[in-house]
Each structure stands twice: as structure tokens, then as C-alpha cells.
Amino acid sequence: MTSTVASEGAGATRQLALALEHTAAQGEADFLVGEGNRLAHGRIMAFPAWSEPVTLLVGPAKSGKSHLARIFADRSGAQFAGVEDLKSLATAGGHAPIIVEDVDRLEYDEVGLFHLLNQSLRAQRPILLTAREEVANWALSTDDVRSRARRATAFTLELTDDIQLSQMFAKLFGDRQIKVDPRIIGYLVARMERSTEEVVLLADLMDRLALAKGSAITRSIAAEALDRRRQDRGEARDEQNWDSQTDE
């Protein structure tokens, strides 16, 4: 839910999320694709054209696993399994997709996981697993589950500089209750001086430019902010920033 606040000057409006209801956006368009998560994102977006039924996403905290799981749920109608649900899901059978998050950290029923993976492999039932550790490092009492989990198509998510800088932009704008198109964040990260300090300066500058113009944060405002920061450092203006594409 958003609240519309009138800006001074141009009479335009600026969309601000209500602070009490601000949550991280988890839709397809909100996912920030970078070098460290491109293959994993491509796998989720390829559903239902999976050649193998079980997919495993491995990555550290805040790497985007849960966001991709939510996208998968929206695309497939998948059910998020609870720690006590696995055996009953396997027994019930069927082809409805299942998501098992943090499979290496939560105390899932190991026997239930074994049966669910077996049922998935037999019936080609789509299952998405997420974990922080590779299968070899899971705390399992037997190798039966490990051997089944190793048959999953695995994708690693890494917190590359691009992703970390993008997440920092998203947090700073979120803290200000400002909604910014992820494509604009991607535009900034590809062109900015690569430091966390620069993220803070650019986020503040774009917020002030948008307020002065009575506008949302657009690609043009992002380009202007990048150019002003270059001028502040005594660098030449980059004409490529001032592209002819329409603001989105």
C-alpha cells in the first residue's frame, strides 16, 4: 500500500510507501539480476521447462534464495513445506510443486525428505530446495538423503559487488520509503564509482533531485546524479549517461 504525497513545484506526485507497512518487494520485477545470481534466476524463470524435477539453490544469507523461492511460488503455485510436512506430502503424492527452504538449517524430518525426493524423482514432481551449504556439508544421519539431494540440479548464488551495491541502494531507498524501479538501480550500479560511500552519496543526491523536480526517481535523474558526482570528482561528463531512452 502506498501514500501519495504532493511535491512542491511541478505539481507532480511522488509515491511513498507507508513506513508502518514497508516490506521488501518480492515480485519478479523486483529481483536484481547480477553476475552472481544470473544462472539461478534463469532456472526459476525457465519453469515449467525443467528437464529434471528437483532444483537446489545454494548461497549465503541475503543472496536472494528466498526471493527466488517466492518468484517460483508465484509462477508455479508451489506450496512452502513446513518442517513436519514432508512425509505427508510424499505420501499424498501428486505433481503439485513444493518448496523446501533452508533444508540444511531447519530440523526437517530426514525420512520425510528422503521419501519426498524419491516421490519427486519418480513422478517428475517439481521441488525447489534452498540451502546455505553444499549437499556434502549437510548434517544428515545417513547417505540416503544425500544421494537423492545430489541428483538435484544445483545453482550457486554469490554476493558479488553488483548484488551488494544493488541491495544497498534498495535498502537506502526503502529506508526513505521511496519506490525505485530495480532497472534504475541496475543502471546506476553499471556506471557508478564502485564503493559503498558512493551508494550513500548517490541515493541522497537522487532523493534531493527528485524532490526539487517534483518527480519520482527516474533514469534521467539517475543519469544527472551520476554526472554531478563525476563533476564533483573533476572528471569529464559521460555523454553515454544521457541516453535517449524514455524514463520508466
81 and 113 housed in the same domain: yes
Contact 125, 98 (CB under 8 A): yes
Q: And the C-alpha cell for 66? A: 528466498
CB 54 within 8 A of CB 152: yes
Domain closes at, from 103, 121, 156: 156
Give dist(CA 207, CA 223) in Å, integer. 13
Residue 247 lies in a domain: no
CATH assignment at residue 170: 1.10.8
Q: 112 with 127, same domain?
A: yes
The strand ranges marked E within the chain are 2-6, 13-17, 54-58, 79-80, 98-100, 127-131, 153-156
29 domain residue, yes or no: no
In a domain, 145, yes or no: yes
Give pTM, 2 decimals: 0.70
3-state secondary structure of 122: helix
Asked whether residue 31 is assigned to any structural domain, the reply reads no
Residue at a domain's end among 90, 123, 156: 156
In this predicted structure, what is the pLDDT of residue 233?
A: 86
User: Are 119 and 216 part of one and the same domain?
Assistant: no
* Residues in the chain with pLDDT values less than 50: 1-23, 242, 244-245, 248
Q: Please indicate, yes or no, if residue 89 is contained in any of the structural domains.
A: yes
Q: What is the mean pLDDT of the chain?
A: 86
b/e map 90-107, b = 16+ CB within 10 Å: beeeeeebbbbbbbbeee
Q: Which residues form the domain of 184? A: 2-24+160-241
- Which of 156, 183, 217 terminates a domain? The answer is 156
Are 42 and 15 in a shared domain? no
Whether 41 and 150 share a structural domain = yes
> CA 76 to CA 82: how far, in whole Å?
18
pLDDT in tens, 175-221: 888 999 999 999 999 999 988 889 999 999 999 999 999 999 999 99
> Could you give the number of structural domains in the chain?
2
| Residues 113 and 148 reside in one and the same domain | yes
For cell 526539487, the residue is 212
